[in-house]
Amino acid sequence: MPYIREIIQEGHPTLRKVAKKVHLEELKDPLMQQLFDDMFETMYDAPGIGLAAPQIGISKRIFTIDLQDDNDEHGPFVVVNPKFELTEGAEWRKDGCLSYEGYIGETERYTRVVVTGFDRYGEKIRLEGTGLFAHCLQHEIDHLNGVLYIDKARNVHLPTEDEDEEDSDEGGAAVEPVEAAVAGD
Ligand code: ZN
């Protein structure tokens, strides 16, 4: 049974470490498979659209991602040892983090990325993203390098009531912060 793990908050040293590469042999360990299930459970419960292993205190190069829209190219995925194959463009977008609860800000990130890595069974995967999905991929990979969005963000603040309403009413990708909120929720 998957269970919800504690999401650690900014100030915890594990969030600032460069996470370790996973040996593909480790994926055969039932405890590792349990970890993936727990990460999904924890991410959906938060609720969030992305979660990196360091956020639950595990300093390994793993994240889960699921925009929870109707597009199966947007997850759910477990991504192990991710690498950028391509990055292009730049755009500012709302950002938020389950490890910096309550706040939102804006970060400038690539508009389009291609990320390669391995799935939970060690099969190669290749994810292409634009917009929210691209930003979320970059947000999660930053976590694996000890970087939080607040390091590069502008206008980090507690959302106003208007912004809360905007998010829940429209639920569209354009107003949804990365990681910390679920589209349409
Ligand atoms: Zn985050």
pLDDT band at 160 (very low <50, low <70, confident <90, very high): confident
Q: What is the pLDDT of residue 170?
A: 39
Residue where the block lists tokens 């990320």: 115
140 is a catalytic site residue = yes
How far is Cα of residue 70 from the mean position of the Cα atoms in its chain?
18
Domains of the chain: 13-179 (3.90.45.10)
- Quick one: residue 172, left, alpha or beta (phi over 0 = left, psi -120 to 50 = alpha)? beta
For residue 162, name the pLDDT band (cuts at 50, 70, 90): confident
Q: Give the single-character DSSP code of 93.
A: E
Ligand 1 centroid distance, CA of 51 (Å): 7
d(CA 144, CA 90): 21
Catalytic residue (choose from 41, 91, 140, 170): 140
- CB of 79 closer than 8 Å to CB of 117: yes
Q: Angle at the Cα of 143 (from 140 to 148), degrees rounded to 5?
A: 105
- Please report the pLDDT score of residue 184 as a whole number: 40
* pTM higher than 0.85: yes
Query: Which amino acid would we find at residue 134?
Result: A
Give the Å distance between the CA of 170 and the centre of ligand 1.
22
Alpha helices, H only, 46-179 = 131-144, 161-170
User: Would you tell me how many other CB atoms lie within 10 Å of the CB of residue 126?
Assistant: 9
